[in-house]
Structure 1
Amino acid sequence: MPVGEVTITLEDVATLSGLPIDGEAVIVDVPDREWSETCTRLLGHAPNDLSGGVVKLSWLREHFNNLPPNASAEITGQFARAYALSLIGFMMFPDRTGATVHLQYLLLLENWRTAGGYAWGAAVLAYLYREMGRSVLHLTQSSSTGGDLGGWVALLQLWAWERFPLIAPRLDDRTSPSVFLGLTK
């Protein structure tokens, strides 16, 4: 990076996250939908307080934390969808609260064969850029000292550490026997 722009790229996203950057666009047509029915169909049940197609990540953890022994293929699929939806809401496309995820992503997890064909990495980068823009816009339109930021911020942090090693945290030398013996150097 001796010259040019400094920005996270699709190649960076693919390298750091392992997510595909080629494939079908992550787009969901979300007309007025009965989200409770969709949730019940794909996860087995729906939260009582479901509103606007948004589910709390805490609800997913509470109801899908432990797969029952000898679970059927259908139940296993529901738990797998809930886990993937949690990752989407917690890591890939977190909102500013970090506490909810929209069920539009659940529609993309209905069929595992097609779910793997989406350009998830490209969508993550686009979402992160959009959230950074919204955060800056929020800062310029208010007198607050900071805007909340959605998107996969940890990915941005990893990118910065890779591109600017001087700002990366330093790891202690954990190979020295004195560390394991409790001795100081």
Structure 2
Amino acid sequence: MTPTLQDVAYLLGLPIFGEAAGPRVVVASWKDDLEARIALVDRVEDAGPINPHPRAAGPSKTWFLQFTPTLLPADANEYSVTRSLEAYLLWLFSYIIFNNTHGNSVDRILLPYAREIVDGDEDVPPYSWGEAVLAATYRGLCDSCRKTHGNTRLAGFM
């Protein structure tokens, strides 16, 4: 049975109307920009300094784990909470919604979406996340079916 757009909307509760959520051009300095935004996050003393992310393709999962709510002080400022939300959204996009075969890093094309949602006011355009999830799932199915070696991974929504 093939999942349809209606299935995605019903089962996952994702919107299927709005602007298409697809690849965007990301500036070459994305890594420096991200580290500059995150550098000012206030964390508990036991957490230590923020480690730079090791990947060139995108931030790694271990990097995101530095910004969990338990590492924020109880009286964290709004900027720290906002940047932690950005890190959480990137983790959510890459490891839950758009599970991919990048291994342990987030695709950098998702960076503008997380920043737009976090920094945007009430006028963030509604995206058709359901369509994007369905397209990513179909692509993952197609890629895994066409691989001939034994190291195939099924990508798409978990």
User: Does the pair score TM above 0.5?
Assistant: yes
- Alpha-carbon deviation of 1:126? 0.2
- Residue aligning to 1:117: 126
- Residue aligning to 2:90: 85
Amino acid at match of 2:126: G
Distance 1:149 1:69, change over 3 A: same
| Runs of at least 5 residues in structure 1 that lack an aligned partner in the other structure | 1-5, 155-185
Alignment of structure 1 residues 48-67 onto 2, 5 Å:
48-52=53-57, 54-61=58-65, 63-65=66-68, 66=70, 67=72
Aligned-partner SS, 1:148: coil
CA distance in 1, matches of 2:135, 2:111: 19
1:94 touches 1:100 (CA, 8 Å); kept in 2?
no
- Alpha-carbon deviation of 1:43? 3.5
Instruction: Say whether residues 1:95 and 2:79 are aligned partners.
Output: no
Aligned-partner SS, 2:82: helix
- Residue aligning to 1:75: 80
Give the TM-score taking structure 2 as reference length.
0.77
Alignment of structure 1 residues 21-170 onto 2, 5 Å:
21-44=16-39, 47-52=52-57, 54-61=58-65, 63-65=66-68, 66=70, 67-96=72-101, 98-112=103-117, 113=122, 117-138=126-147, 142-144=148-150, 147-152=152-157, 154=158
| Runs of at least 5 residues in structure 2 that lack an aligned partner in the other structure | 40-49
**1:30-57 deviations in Å (ceiling 9; x for gaps):** 25511212312443477242313x1211
Moved over 3 A (4+): 41-46, 113-116
Larger CA Rg, structure 1 vs 2: 1
CA RMSD across the alignment: 2.3
Name whichever of 81-90 and 111-120 sits farther off.
111-120
Give the TM-score taking structure 1 as reference length.
0.67
Aligned-partner SS, 1:26: coil
Distance 1:77 1:99, change over 3 A: same
Give the percent of matched residue pairs that are identical in Structure 1 and Structure 2: 30
